[in-house]
Amino acid sequence: MNILLFFHSLMRWLVLASLLYAIYRAYHGYTQKLPFTKADNKIRHWTATIAHVQLLVGIIIYTQSATVKMLTNGPSNNGNVTEPVFFGIIHIALMLIAIVIITIGSAVAKRKTLAYDKFRTQLIYFSIALAVIFVAIPWPFSPLAQRPFIRLS
């Protein structure tokens, strides 16, 4: 389980980097009215693929997590969002939503015929997904649940 947590923690940075790069390329292509190249298509594809791999690892962790299993004891009665609630409901729900947005954006952009429309679609969908992911990540400074930038154990 520790290996999966480490891999999931490391993959977070790959997901963020690929999304940021895809958004940058889409913005640049959209504003400069550039052609949608094979490289742009590969970036679109690999960004979605990396996100899907991260989701699969996350689902495996979710099914084995002691923190998530604590939800069966019921949520805290103190009115605060606890780690079991964050990871058992908020994190998984928002990440699923983000992956659905990335998947739809990638599929819609792929089917557009004009480069301008491909870039625009990718820019919109990937940016929305990135915002959702930023909210759902348990950053070290998050008031909901804290995890280090890279989890070693």
Torsion sign across C-alpha atoms 53, 54, 56, 61: positive
On whether residue 74 sits in a domain, the answer given is yes
* Predicted structure pTM score: 0.86
Domain of 33 in residue numbering reads as 2-136
Angstrom CA distances, 88 to 13, 42, 61, stand at 22, 33, 11
Number of domains in the chain: 1
On whether residue 27 sits in a domain, the answer given is yes
Encoded amino acid at 82, one letter: T
In tens, the pLDDT along 48-93 reads 999 999 999 999 988 887 777 676 666 555 555 577 777 888 889 9
Encoded amino acid at 14, one letter: L
Rg, the chain, Cα only = 17
Encoded amino acid at 131, one letter: A
